[in-house]
Amino acid sequence: MQETTLELLNTLNRDFYDTFAQAFADSRAPSEPGLTRYLAEAMPGARVLDLGCGMGRIALLLPQGCVYTGVDFSEALLTTARERATEAGVVATFIAADLTAPDWASSTAPPYDWIILRAVLHHIPGYAQRLRIVQEATTLLAPGGSLLLANWQFLSIARLRRRLQPWSEIGLTEADVEPGDYLLDWQREGRGLRYVHLVDESETRRLADAAGLTIAAMTLADGHENKLTLYALLRETG
């Protein structure tokens, strides 16, 4: 994928989440069953890094005693995250940083027992860019730490397939993007467009192998049919 296309798609998603931050936050449920099951494995005192934290839902779902840090590029979403954490009496640190920037990891304070990339990688254009983020996250793990990926399986849901839009909407063609890339519209408090990529089981395994990680568990969960999100719990090989 050409650099100009990468930047166009990155900018598209940045603008979407800044524009629709409140509407997006209001549309999300407090949690998902699959996410709750995995987060229950975090022990009290665990240091947790939530990459692409959005409005900070995970900070409110962790077992008591975890030390939470959330990172997101959207100042609008981070404002909501800070407000919600304060209202809930949860101590949390929130950092503004863009995972597509080469220096995002310098804003963190590793090591972390848990690193979570929930609903993040499917918004990162280009396999090489997604792999770089997973590899960088891996370097921040404590020995024996866990990396949790959670990616939207939007093609399995009819109502989401109906929201797919042609690339011509943003001046691109199929030849400009990679297989598995899509453009998805939003119609709540205005119309918006987001770049999404299908990070399926095959790509999850490919990412894990390239990052030197072992898949400890992989499950489908959430939604009415329990197939909305693909969860993968990864740990360092050996």
104-157 pLDDT, tens per residue? 999 999 999 999 999 999 999 999 999 999 999 999 999 999 999 999 999 998
The pLDDT value recorded for residue 25 is: 62
Type of residue numbered 8: L
Give helix 201-210 / helix 127-139 axis angle, nearest 10°: 50
The CATH number assigned to the domain holding 153 equals: 3.40.50.150
State the residue range of the domain holding 109. 3-236
CA distance 119 to 50: 11
pTM: 0.93
- Among the ranges given (28-42, 46-60, 96-110), the one the predictor scored with the smallest mean pLDDT: 28-42
Mode of pairing for the β-strands spanning 213-221 and 229-236? antiparallel
Give helix 3-19 / helix 75-88 axis angle, nearest 10°: 40
41-58 pLDDT, tens per residue? 999 899 999 999 998 999
The pLDDT value recorded for residue 27 is: 58
Instruction: Calculate the CA 135 to chain-centre distance.
Output: 15
What is the count of structural domains for the chain? 1
> Residue for token digits 């490919």?
206
Cβ neighbors of 25 (< 8 A, separation 6 or more) are 54, 55, 77, 80
Are residues 52 and 76 in contact, defined by beta-carbon separation less than 8 angstroms?
Answer: no
Cis peptide before 111 (omega within 30 of 0): yes
**For residue 236, what pLDDT band results from cuts at 50, 70 and 90?**
confident
- Laid out side by side, the sheet with 213-221 consists of 92-96, 67-72, 47-51, 112-118, 141-152, 229-236, 213-221
